[in-house]
Structure 1
Amino acid sequence: MNRYRLPQIKRLLIALCLSSTLAPLAHAKQIDLQVNLATPVMEADRTHNAFIKISLEAIKQEQPQERIPANIAIVLDKSGSMQGDKLYHAKKAAIMAINRLGTNDIVSVVSYDSRVNVVVPATKASDTARIARSIQQIEASGNTALFAGVSKGSQELRKFLDMNKVNRVILLSDGLANVGPSTPNELGKLGLSLAKEGISVTTIGLGLGYNEDLMTQLAGFSDGNHAFVENAEDLARIFQYEFGDVLSVVAQGVEIHITCKNGVRPLRVLGREADISGNMVSTRMNQLYSEQEKFIILEVEVPAQEDRSNLELVDVDIRYNDLFNKQNEQLSSNVVANFTRSQKKIDDAVDTQTYEAAAEQVANEFNREAVEKRDQGDIQGAQSILQKSADYLDNLGQTLSSPKLIEQKEEALQDASELDDEQEWSKKRKELKERQFKRAKQQSY
């Protein structure tokens, strides 16, 4: 062989090896699915209620500069109550956030009082200085046509609506919706309809005058984020967090289907709205973010089994839109329980992390019930529910040796002690609703 051809052959072999090694990575799935049982080993010969955690975690993006383009509508309340510092900081935060966008991103800005005004029609975020000048010209006056503001922001998104983009309305309001549809149910339905189009809505409540039920319903049904901002000076920080989420989306349109098997009966899904029909459970998540875990907790009834037997409890099927590869992907998994009469084997097998996540969601349900009781004027009843939550967290925290659950027990007791302060109830209620929302949705900020 000609000795001068050896380097060429070596280079060819190296190239072939590299291509065969790297080729699969081009189609690597963006999502890791884990299905875990809090009590993977159960006592034989009796029925159990058990918690199953279905978690999805998006992989880290090694080249964040190649992120998914965003299509964002910022919807700003400019009603009379926003006069002064509130509107000043809102405009400043919006401009700072827009400066994070790239030339492939789409942005629109809508303001609303009694009427709705498109400040910046949907456009590429290339001339941010011009966009900033338009935002600076917004002035406060009038009432709060919140529903119309969100609807108009959605219309701007639809001009460039693309399932391979991140489509997000970011709503800021400091007051009660008093023009047009204004109930939490009506705004929740709007959020649900937008979610079906691939649009999510993040709601930012400023001050103590907004309706937290309305804002959490709108965000929750569309699978956006929610934040309570007491002081306008904090808006810039919240907008930065929100845009951090928007700019790290890797998958959306996530459909979760669970089939309970072998006589296992689904009881409830904690943390998210879900449909339960017979042995079938279905729910969805609008978007998943890089390096963030999102999960649901499914509580099931497991029929009694013999000693040393095992039982497959559920099949889990996930479908989602992979925004990087621009194709639909599917994942599946299942979970199996083992049965024994040995208490030691049962105790040793407990999945502490999964049990903690389930306990947190159970406590979150207690917290919701307590707020409902407090709204009815039954302060003692609300405190009793929070005491029940604290006892539950304490008992499980001691059993699992979990500092996290013990800390949440103290939080529940602190909440109970603050329910009877009428002057502080408006602020406390907003804090509780925000915390409930964030824990249910595993919000990153």
Structure 2
Amino acid sequence: MKTRRIPFVPPRLPAVLPLLALAVCLVLKLAGTVQAAPLQLQVAFDNEYVSTSHPGARYLEVLVTAPESVSQRPRVPLNLALVLDTSGSMGEQGKLEYVKQAAIAMLDRLRPEDRFALISYSNKARVLYPSQPVEEGQHMQGLINSLEAFGGTNLGDGLQEGWRQVQRHASPSVISRVLLLSDGLANIGITSNQELAQLTLAQSELGISLSSFGVGLEFNEDLLAALAETGRGMYYFIDHPESMNTILGKEFKSVEQLAAADIKVNISLGSDLVVDQVFANSYEVNGNNITVRFGDLAAGERRRMQIRVLPKQRSLGRFDNAAQVSVSYLEPGSKAALSLLDKLGMTYTDDEKIAASRQNKEVLERAAVFEANQAKKEAALAVDKGDQHRATVILNEAKKKIEAVAPPASAKVKDELAAMDSYAEKVSKPMEAKTKSLEQKQVKHRVQAVEGC
């Protein structure tokens, strides 16, 4: 804490003392209530000018950015549950040993005011360490080191026990999160992706977030990605078990430096625009109203999404209600609900040269990235169903669309097009099961990560 030197006041200035004392009190009071900067909202069209004769598609971009640091406010206590898969397959490739090392490293970062629970699951869930402050570090390490790999994968049972442990101490004054790790398919108990996602959403609404970690090549990436989306957390793909410690450490740092929770973006478009495609991980569309769930944001993180809209033909002139964007979120460690608001207009012109010259090339460049990854996501789903031909068609059609609208000299766009070509070439040929699993997981994980670009 910084101190402020107060100069000596000579006896001949007694009248100044009360004012000086008041000023000092005010400074000290402000120093004790300094808060990190709020979230930043940026909204832009790739081009706010539209030709009356050839309207063409437009991209609306929304970017929410967290402050670079939350160090100016007291650290919010953590309420965590680590839910570990200890099914038989975790004994392969040393996966469980790497998990043990990462879990012990996490314990070393916890503070006395934090609460922690440890749950393992195979055929059923086991509570190894009920939610409580971590006081006996050596005892906890012993519990972690005693874990053995055996049995099936009752992911739902493990997840529900993790929630129960965190629920006992959940409140607005702490950060509550479940960390779920799996290397396989849920094959015992609740196995429905939709049912597990719905249960996760219900916990999210109660203030308990969830991050998921997929290890190896056999886990269900669609399930773990869906759980992270509805759980307001992050989805991690760990193809190399030796990187477990680094990735789990990254997640812990994100939770520890949480800047905003339960971020929701509401977009209301004017009647002259039609929603064509939403590029976001989790969203709902109701006519011209779009709601996007951005989840939680740690210091220095950001979330970005875009909407491809189709302007209707109309007369010349500007209309100011093209898009209204509002953001609501919660301040971690308190009940404070905060919000942001921005609006955009759009101008119709009969001068096509003016319309063409007003492009925001950066937004358009990122639109190409979103288009490419959306195409790869749809192609990957087609490959999952065994329809490689359909996947190739999706990728080729998307490539033509991107080439027609994206800045041709952009290195980023060229990289995305090259990645699409590479994926198209791979899916057009028979792939070994291991190669296919790796390719599918990498593509789907990239799609999830684009929102944070």
The two structures have a TM-score, normalised by structure 2, of: 0.88
**Which residue of structure 2 lines up, in the alignment, with residue 437 of structure 1?**
448
Pair 1:405 & 2:405 matched: no
Q: In the aligned structure 1, how far is the partner of 2:307 from the partner of 2:405?
A: 18
Comparing 247-256 with 25-34, greater Cα deviation is found at: 25-34
**In the alignment, what sits opposite 1:91?**
100
In structure 1, give the amino acid aligned to 2:181. L
Please identify, of 138-147 and 255-264, the stretch whose mean Cα deviation from structure 2 is larger. 255-264
Task: Report the identity percentage.
Answer: 25
State the secondary structure of the residue aligned to 2:109: coil
CA distance in 1, matches of 2:32, 2:405: 44
Q: Which residue of 2 aligns with 1:59?
A: 67
Instruction: Tell me if the contact between 2:276 and 2:310 (Cα under 8 Å) persists in the aligned partners.
Output: yes
Show structure 2 runs of 5+ residues with no match: 1-9
TM-aligned CA deviation for residue 144 of structure 1: 0.8
CA distance in 2, matches of 1:398, 1:355: 7
1:206 aligns with 2:212: no
For residues 290 and 169 of structure 2, what CA distance do their matches in structure 1 show? Answer: 33
Match of 1:216 in 2: 225
The yes-or-no answer on 1:297 pairing with 2:306 is yes
CA distance in 1, matches of 2:115, 2:354: 56
**Mapped partners of 1:133, 1:361: distance in 2:** 46
The CA distance in 2 between the partners of 1:28 and 1:188, in whole Å, is 33
**Residue number in structure 2 paired with 1:172:** 181
Match of 2:375 among 362, 366, 369: 366
Q: Indicate which of 410, 427, 438 corresponds to 2:438.
A: 427
- The size of the alignment, in residue pairs, is 440
Q: Deviations over 1:262-310 (max 9, x none)?
A: 4333334211332222332223233122121112222333223434534
Equivalent residues in 2 for 1:241-320, closer than 5 Å: 241-320=250-329
CA distance in 1, matches of 2:335, 2:449: 29
Q: CA deviation at 1:6?
A: 7.8
SS at match of 2:445: helix
Q: 1:25 to 1:270 in 2, by over 3 A?
A: farther
Shift of 1:331: 1.6
CA distance in structure 2 between the partners assigned to 1:19 and 1:102 by the alignment = 27
Give SS of 2:383's match. helix
List gaps (5 residues or longer) in structure 1. none
Aligned residue number for residue 193 of structure 1: 202
Is the Cα contact below 8 Å between 1:33 and 1:56 reproduced in 2? Answer: yes
Return the TM-score normalized by structure 1: 0.90
- Cα 1:322/1:29, change in 2 over 3 Å: farther
1:383 is matched with which residue: 380, 385, 392? 392
Could you say if the C-alpha distance between residues 276 and 238 of structure 1 is closer, same or farther in structure 2, counting changes exceeding 3 Å?
same
- 2:233 counterpart letter in structure 1: G
CA shift, 1:45, in A, is 4.5
- CA-based RMSD: 2.7
Q: Matched residue of 1:51: which SS?
A: strand
**8 Å contact 1:175–1:209 — kept in the other structure?**
yes
Quickly say closer, same or farther: Cα 1:176–1:325, change in 2 above 3 A: closer
Match of 1:33 among 35, 41, 53: 41
Retained in 2: the 8 A contact 1:262–1:311?
no
Deviation of 1:62 after TM superposition, in Å, equals 5.2
C-alpha distance 24-156 of structure 1, shift in aligned 2 (>3 A): closer
